[in-house]
Amino acid sequence: MADARRMGKMELFAHFADKFDMKRTVVRDLFEELLVLSEKELKRTGEFTLPGICKLVVQHRQARDGRNPATGETIKIPAKTVVKARIAKQLKDAVLPRK
C-alpha cells in the first residue's frame, strides 16, 4: 500500500461535501442524524441496517468463566450487552480476496 493513512472524520465530510456539492456542516449534520437514528433503532428493535455496508445488532452475552492470561487464574466474566457490526456480503465480496 502506498498510503496506509486512514480517512478521518473531516476527510469523510469533505468527500461527501465535494461529491454532492453541499456544505461540510450540512454533511456533518446528516452523519449526526444517522447516529441518532441508529441509536434510536438499536434501542427500539435491537438492529439497524446500512444497506450494502453493515447491520448493527444488539447482542446479550451470558456471564461465563474465563482465564487471566497473565496468571492462568480462573475469573468470572459478568454478563453484558454489546453492539456487533455484521458486514454485508456485498462489501465483503468487494474487499476480500477470493479463495
The answer, yes or no, to whether residue 29 has pLDDT greater than 50, is: yes
% residues pLDDT > 90 (the chain): 89
Report residue 94: phi and psi, to 5°.
Answer: -75, -30
Distance of alpha carbon 3 from its chain centroid, rounded?
Answer: 23
The answer, yes or no, to whether residue 26 has pLDDT greater than 90, is: yes
| Element (DSSP H or E) covering residue 85 | strand 80-87
State the average pLDDT over residues 4-9. 87
**CATH homologous superfamily of domain 46-99?**
IHF-like DNA-binding proteins (4.10.520.10)
pLDDT of residue 99: 72
Q: How far lies 2's CA from each of 25, 33, 89, 92, 94, in Å?
A: 31, 34, 27, 22, 20
Instruction: Tell me the pLDDT tens digit for each residue of 50-70.
Output: 999 999 999 999 999 999 999
The answer, yes or no, to whether residue 1 has pLDDT greater than 90, is: no
The answer, yes or no, to whether residue 3 has pLDDT greater than 70, is: no
Cell numbers at 87, concatenated = 458486514
Task: Map grid coordinates 498510503 to a residue.
Answer: 3
The amino acid present at 24, given as its one-letter code, is R
User: With a threshold of 0.85, does the pTM exceed it?
Assistant: no
82, 83, 89, 94 alpha-carbon torsion, rounded to 10°: -110
